């Protein structure tokens, strides 16, 4: 019959062949799996979410532009007050007026 060494060789060869087949089969299944990106782009909720993200980005840019224009206008007003002769500093408070009662 079959001695111990031959049984070990046959058994390990059979186990190796099964493991190799399982690895190749799993790899083939992994290569032909459906892509998540393709599923996401077809969903109407995802396209809506993408449009919302684009709108929020556009709003953020516009708010930043408004802030820059506000800073620029403030700078111009400060320079105008500083350059006008006879003008008082912007930090000075108006004189107090005492009214009779």
pLDDT for position 101:
66
Distance, CA of 15 to CA of 9 (rounded, Å): 10
Please state, for a pLDDT cut of 70, what percent of the chain lies above it: 81
Number of structural domains in the chain: 2
HEC string for 38-66? HHHHHCHHHHHHHHHHHHHHHHHHHHHHH
- In percent, the amount of the chain with pLDDT more than 90 equals 33
**Confidence bin at 62 (pLDDT 50/70/90):** very high
Residue 60: pLDDT band with limits 50, 70, 90: very high
| Residue 19 domain-assigned (yes or no) | yes
Q: Which domain holds residue 43?
A: 39-79
Query: Are 21 and 43 within one domain?
Result: no
User: Are the C-beta atoms of 90 and 78 separated by less than 8 Å?
Assistant: yes
Instruction: Give the range among 5-9, 22-26, 97-101 with minimum mean pLDDT.
Output: 97-101
């Amino acid at each position: 019959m079959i001695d111990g060494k031959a049984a070990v060789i046959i058994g390990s060869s059979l186990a190796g062949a099964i493991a190799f087949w399982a690895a190749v089969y799993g790899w083939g299944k992994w290569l032909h799996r459906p892509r998540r990106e393709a599923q996401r782009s077809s969903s109407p909720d995802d396209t809506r979410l993408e449009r919302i993200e684009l709108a929020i980005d556009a709003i953020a840019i516009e708010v930043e532009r408004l802030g820059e224009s506000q800073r620029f206008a403030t700078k111009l007003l400060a320079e105008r007050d500083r350059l006008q002769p006879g003008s008082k500093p912007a930090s000075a408070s108006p004189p107090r007026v005492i009214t009779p009662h």
